[in-house]
Every structure is written in C-alpha cells, then in structure tokens.
C-alpha cells in the first residue's frame, strides 16, 4: 500500500456527511443473484476495502471475483525469511491464499509494477502505455465481465486512487472502460452497480490528499461475517495476515482497527466521463 499506513497512524477518523442512499451497497450485496467483482492494481490492495469485501464474499456468501493487475514485484519484502525466488512470486501465492480465504475467484495478471521509490514512478500515461503494449487490460477485464457477469464492480477513484498511486488510477480506468465495452454487442452484460472506494481519512484530507469526490454512503463493518459475533472487520484483519511479505503495512493496518472499521463508497455512472474518465486521459 506504498507507505499509506504510517501516515494514518497519526490520524483519527471523521465522517464526511453523505445522505443515506435508498439502497445501500450492503442491500446490493444481499440481492438475489448478486455477484461482486473487485478490480485493483496490486496484491494487498483489497485489504483497503477488506471488511467491505468480507461482507459481500463471506457475510452474504455472494460469488466474488478479484481481478488484480500485477504481482506487486516492484515492492519490498517484509518477510523475516525473505522472498525466494522473488517478491512477485511470493505475492502471487499470498494473494491466491487470501482469495481462497474470502471464498473468491481470482484472476491475476502480470502487468508491469513500477519499483520503489515512489519518486521514480513513470507517469500514469507512460505506465498505461506499457500495460497496453503487454495486452490491452480493458479487453481482458471485459472478457472477465462477460464471463463472470458481475452485478457489482468495485474499484478505486480514477484520479487519485486512494493513495495517489498511478497504477491504482489505471486499474480503475481500465475497469470502467471494460464495463462500458461489455455492455455492447453480442453476449453483452451491463453491470448495474459500479462503486469507487474512497480515501476520506482525516490526515489525508488535512494534508490535501485523499480522494476528492464526495461519497454517496458510509459502510460500517460492524456486520456479521461467517460466524456469530465475528464482525467483518475481524474477518478482514485476520485474512490480512496472509500477506506476509507485506507485514510492515499489514501489521500497521491491524493496529488501526477503529479507522478501518469504516469505508466511504461512491456509486458512479460508468458512462459519465466526468465521473469515470477514459483510461489514459490526463
């Protein structure tokens, strides 16, 4: 999560006001025939919305698909025993274990992951071109949408991407392009619900960061997941232990129990370019 959590340790959580929707995301998860697809860039990104996904995949036993764009091989290894043969190979296995713990199907691509430090990252358009040259991500996600037929797609904000990471932004943009393409032609599938998971944590907002759009609702994780008296936050934080190579971030996440008990989400219209810009637009 690229050093998100140390900053959040200094923060407290406040709740930007949002009128309660007539139909909440939890209502959507509970609908008959619901199917949830998560699209993100890296292994462990799903932990930023862990309780939300745990509610869908475990609490409601909704069929879930995790679509992850790369192996996170540009990141660091925090396993005491190291990451043999390499960080990416270890993170691939870890993500498979996490998906299994969620009861989710996994589609895992191997697009380029910019190596740390953050200051060396290519720009979003440069990274996007590298991904497209390796095989159009929107086309691959479109095929998964047509096959899996999700009723819900969840991803990050396309302009900031929760932490400002350009690959988070790209994953969102390619996901939205895939939703648009899948709605047309033979075998079309139109996804009725698309949500952005937003960063509205206090410290980021004071520092001028976080995601700019207003949420349409607040999800709280004090909901049962898989067993009596087991809340979705507990389930998600337990599952986060599967990302052992990222234990620096995951350990801090588990120490931030109150903060990660809430998620801000924004339902968007994927056909509105103001809400969901084109993949490589500035």
CATH of residue 184's domain is 3.40.50.10320
Share of the chain above pLDDT 70, in %: 89
166 belongs to a structural domain: yes
Question: Looking at 51-60, 87-96, 214-223, 226-235, which range is the least confident one?
Answer: 226-235
277 belongs to a structural domain: no
Which residue range(s) make up the domain with 243? 4-14+22-268
Dist. CA 36–CA 217, nearest whole Å: 18
102, pLDDT greater than 80: yes
Separation of first and last alpha carbons in the chain: 23
Question: Looking at 8-17, 147-156, 206-215, which range is the least confident one?
Answer: 8-17
Would you say 74 and 26 are in contact if contact means Cβ atoms under 8 Å apart? no
pLDDT band at 17 (very low <50, low <70, confident <90, very high): low
92 belongs to a structural domain: yes
Query: Which of 184, 147, 183, 141 shows the shortest CA–CA distance to 63?
Result: 147
51 belongs to a structural domain: yes
10, pLDDT greater than 70: no
The model's pLDDT over 21-52, given as tens digits with 9 standing for 90+, comes to: 889 999 999 999 999 999 999 999 999 999 99
Contacts of 263 (CB under 8 A, 6+ apart): 49, 51, 52, 197, 218, 219, 221
Domain count, the chain: 1
* pLDDT for the residue 90: 97
Angle at 280 between CA 276 and CA 282, to 5 degrees: 80
281 belongs to a structural domain: no
CA of 168: how far to CAs of 42, 124, 147, 279, in Å?
A: 8, 10, 24, 12
Place of tokens 């410290």: 203
70 belongs to a structural domain: yes
273 belongs to a structural domain: no
The model's pLDDT over 106-116, given as tens digits with 9 standing for 90+, comes to: 999 999 999 98
Would you say 203 and 8 are in contact if contact means Cβ atoms under 8 Å apart? yes
Would you say 195 and 266 are in contact if contact means Cβ atoms under 8 Å apart? yes
What b-and-e string marks burial along 215-227, b requiring 16 or more CB atoms within 10 Å of the CB?
Answer: bbbbbbbebebee
Dist. CA 201–CA 7, nearest whole Å: 10
1, pLDDT greater than 60: no
274 belongs to a structural domain: no
* pLDDT for the residue 202: 73
């Amino acid at each position: 999560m690229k050093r998100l959590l140390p900053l959040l340790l200094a923060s407290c959580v406040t709740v930007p006001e949002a009128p309660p929707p007539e139909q909440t995301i939890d209502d959507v998860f509970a609908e008959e025939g619901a199917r949830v697809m998560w699209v993100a860039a890296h292994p462990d990104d799903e932990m930023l919305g862990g309780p939300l996904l745990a509610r869908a995949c475990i609490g409601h036993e909704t069929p879930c698909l995790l679509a992850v764009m790369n192996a996170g091989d540009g990141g660091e290894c925090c396993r005491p025993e190291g990451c043999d043969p390499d960080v990416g190979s270890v993170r691939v296995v870890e993500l498979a274990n996490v998906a299994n713990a969620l009861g989710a199907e996994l589609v895992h691509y191997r697009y380029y992951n910019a190596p740390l430090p953050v200051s060396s990252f290519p720009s979003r358009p440069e990274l996007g071109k590298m991904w497209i040259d390796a095989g159009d991500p929107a086309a691959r996600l479109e095929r998964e949408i047509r096959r899996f037929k999700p009723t819900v797609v969840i991803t990050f904000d396309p302009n900031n991407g929760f932490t400002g990471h350009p690959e988070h932004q790209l994953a969102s943009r390619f996901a939205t392009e895939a939703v648009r393409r899948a709605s047309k032609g033979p075998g079309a599938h139109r996804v009725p619900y698309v949500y952005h998971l937003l960063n509205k944590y206090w410290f980021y907002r004071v520092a001028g960061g976080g995601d700019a759009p207003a949420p349409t609702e607040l999800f709280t994780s004090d909901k049962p997941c898989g067993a009596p008296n087991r809340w979705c936050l507990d389930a998600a934080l337990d599952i986060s232990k599967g990302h052992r190579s990222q234990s620096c971030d995951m350990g801090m996440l588990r120490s931030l129990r109150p903060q990660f008990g809430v998620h801000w989400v924004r339902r968007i219209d994927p056909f509105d370019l103001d809400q969901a810009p084109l993949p490589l637009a500035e």
